[in-house]
Structure 1
Amino acid sequence: MYIVTGGAGFIGANIVKGLNARGERDILVVDDLSSGDKFRNLMDCEISDYVDKDLFLQWLEKGKLPNAAAVFHEGACSDTMEPDGRYMMNNNYEYSKTLLAWCQAQRVPLLYASSASVYGAGRIFEERREHEAPLNVYGYSKFQFDQFVRRVLPVATAPIVGFRYFNVYGPREQHKGRMASVAFHFFNQMREHGRVRLFQGSDGYADGEQRRDFVYIDDVVKVNFHFLERPDLSGIFNLGTGQAQSFNEVAVAVVNAVDALRNPSSGSRELQALQQEKIIEYIPMPVALHGKYQSFTQASISALRAAGYQDSFHPVQEGVMQYVRWMDAQAQ
């Protein structure tokens, strides 16, 4: 059996779907369906059982979990604007420590979701303590669990692999609301209003020129399975493309992908033309994000490459095209 926490969420549901593609059906999904729409992420997946995250925690504490080949721990509060630090630390940190303790006692590999938010406003994104300074309590919760894992690794009895996800986008994220990717929001803005809106410039970047490492969900799943197949590997790894691209590039890719769906013979348009036509517009950044916004991220993937992962990653232009086609099909 495989256990996937957060299995009805964005990354978790894609891992479940990926396990199905590998012929796996004995999968226990753990999640919180208080937001009931998340069940749709599992409609085309095959699982053996589902359990609420609170009951799962009780099972953990009582040692009543079934045997597992591996645990994919994707469950967490991922709202970077959540102000309740007590809730965040209980949900993301204490819960994760309890799960790690069970995995170590049972010698079960744990592959878990960390986050690029641990780097805060830094400019060097390498998996080293001196570059880590989170800007919010979400990032802090992920940082503290990474620190805990670092202390356990020298005496670990089973593989532990943490993935510092950069800006992941792709199918099955629609339930995330404001925390969904900009590609998701741009697509819906184009469908509803015929234009997209980006933040005005900040931190020395021009309008829409803030840059992030945008990584397509299919690549995230592939990296998880790379480590699943190599139980000799443990550690904390960045999971991004290694290439920062601007929000403007994402917006242009979405607009051109939507245009291509409507008119396959239409040519691609450049940023300047879309600005002049007011298809791309810029709005002030919300006050709540001031001082808490990463204007630049770019994963160093040297550790990932050293761990043997050599496949290429989807650039924004390719990943967005695939994603827009999927969203359009869902909208139909």
Structure 2
Amino acid sequence: MIIITGATGFIGSCLQAKLHALKEETVIVDWLGDQGKWRNIAKHTPDAVIMPEALDDFLKTAKNVTAVIHLGAISETTARDGDLVWQTNVDLSMKLWQWCAQHQVRFIYASSAATYGGANTAEEFIDDHARVDQLKPLNLYGWSKQVFDMQVLKQVETKQPCPPQWVGLKFFNVYGPNEYHKGKMISVVKVKFDDIVQGNAPKLFKSDQPHLADGGQARDFIWVGDVVDMILWFLENPKAASGIYNCGTGQARTYLDLAYAVCASMNVSKKVDFIEMPSALRGQYQYFTQANMNKIKQAGYNKPFTSLEDGIGQYIQDYLLKSDSYL
């Protein structure tokens, strides 16, 4: 049995779809809510759905658990409730870590590229354990993820009980189907698609940095299928080295590249409108992210990543333009 937290969400439901296809027994821990998230798992129903408030009781009697994949979190980069974020992103994560350590169950959890904060050169996005406590996240969400990473490393360094294999994945900018419930945190790909559907040119923020052209802001955009493949690789390789790993493509692409790829996939002219960056984002905006992927490659992962153009084409043609856009 594999337990997945946050499995009615974006990445979790895509992982659930793959595990269901592989005929794995899965129990998901999440709320279905009232935003239509049930549709994310409608085609690949798990063996059980456990509400988060019932997790403690479930774990007391859980049998034959082979892995816990902890993707549940408050992931909004604009989150303001520090107590709730700490309770969800730190306390719950440590509770699951300790349960996995006690029962010798493998543990894979979602960290985040938001932990890198104001990093703006390729040399700064290195998943080196020795540098984790030196990172300077720009928001509460990124800080909470950094805190848990540090707690994990402290457990390891002080030789406290640990899961037999543990992996923290620093997700970069993930896009793909089943993200439709995410509101303002939905991927830029979907936002630009919606711009065009509404008859407008895709909108991008102007640069407020003198050295950077409008649309030159760059991110490591990764297709959700590649994220799922990376998680599955760790599940299939229980002896792969434990650690915190970047989960990106290793290639930064500009927002202009992304907007043009959306236009091409929708057969419209490559035209972009630039708008002012909201004041609320200034000072919390990353202008560049690019995962250094050497560490996971050295661990043995060698599957090629989907290009931005191919990923966007697949997302739009196979999902967004279909009457049923769910995986």
Q: What TM-score comes out, normalization by structure 2 length?
A: 0.92
SS of the equivalent of 1:56 reads helix
Residue 224 (structure 1) aligns with: 231
Counterparts of 2:150 and 2:54, CA distance in 1: 27
Whether the 8 Å contact between 1:202 and 1:295 is mirrored in structure 2 is no
**Shift of the alpha carbon at 1:330?**
3.8
Alignment of 1:252-291 (within 5 A): 252-259=260-267, 274=270, 279-291=271-283
- Choose from 207, 213, 230 the match for 1:206: 213
Whether the 8 Å contact between 2:26 and 2:48 is mirrored in structure 1 is yes
SS of the equivalent of 1:121 reads coil
Counterparts of 1:71 and 1:127, CA distance in 2: 22
Alignment of 1:82-231 (within 5 A): 82-122=79-119, 123=121, 124-128=124-128, 129=131, 132-154=135-157, 155=159, 156-203=162-209, 204-231=211-238
Counterparts of 2:231 and 2:163, CA distance in 1: 20
Give the gaps of 5 or more residues in structure 1: 261-268
Does the alignment pair 1:328 with 2:321? Answer: yes
- Letter paired with 1:49: A
Counterparts of 1:105 and 1:117, CA distance in 2: 30
Counterparts of 2:293 and 2:34, CA distance in 1: 34
**Shift of the alpha carbon at 1:126?**
0.6
Whether the 8 Å contact between 1:213 and 1:298 is mirrored in structure 2 is yes
Q: What TM-score comes out, normalization by structure 1 length?
A: 0.90
> What CA RMSD, in Å, does the superposition of the two structures yield over aligned residues?
1.6
Residue 265 (structure 1) aligns with: none
SS of the equivalent of 2:49 reads strand
**Using a 3 Å threshold, how does the CA distance of structure 1 residues 229 and 153 change in structure 2: closer, same or farther?**
farther
Q: How many residues align?
A: 313
**Shift of the alpha carbon at 1:33?**
2.5
- Letter paired with 1:235: G
- Letter paired with 1:190: I
Deviates more, 1:238-247 or 1:37-46: 37-46
SS of the equivalent of 1:4 reads strand
**Using a 3 Å threshold, how does the CA distance of structure 1 residues 208 and 137 change in structure 2: closer, same or farther?**
same
Residue 250 (structure 2) aligns with: 242
**Using a 3 Å threshold, how does the CA distance of structure 1 residues 57 and 135 change in structure 2: closer, same or farther?**
farther
Residue 52 (structure 2) aligns with: 53
Give the gaps of 5 or more residues in structure 2: none
Whether the 8 Å contact between 2:262 and 2:312 is mirrored in structure 1 is yes
- Choose from 243, 247, 251 the match for 2:259: 251
**Shift of the alpha carbon at 1:193?**
2.4
> CA offsets per residue over residues 27-49 of structure 1, 9 Å max, x none?
10111223441111001113110
Identity of aligned residues (%): 37
**Using a 3 Å threshold, how does the CA distance of structure 1 residues 90 and 34 change in structure 2: closer, same or farther?**
same
Whether the 8 Å contact between 1:254 and 1:321 is mirrored in structure 2 is yes
Residue 30 (structure 2) aligns with: 31
**Shift of the alpha carbon at 1:58?**
4.7
Residue 264 (structure 1) aligns with: none
- Letter paired with 1:329: K
Residue 304 (structure 2) aligns with: 312
- Letter paired with 1:52: M
Does the alignment pair 1:72 with 2:69? Answer: yes
SS of the equivalent of 1:162 reads strand
Whether the 8 Å contact between 1:202 and 1:210 is mirrored in structure 2 is no
**Shift of the alpha carbon at 1:59?**
3.7
**Shift of the alpha carbon at 1:157?**
4.1
> CA offsets per residue over residues 78-133 of structure 1, 9 Å max, x none?
10001111111111110100011101111110111000000001131011326521
Counterparts of 1:257 and 1:52, CA distance in 2: 39
- Letter paired with 1:5: T
Whether the 8 Å contact between 2:106 and 2:163 is mirrored in structure 1 is no
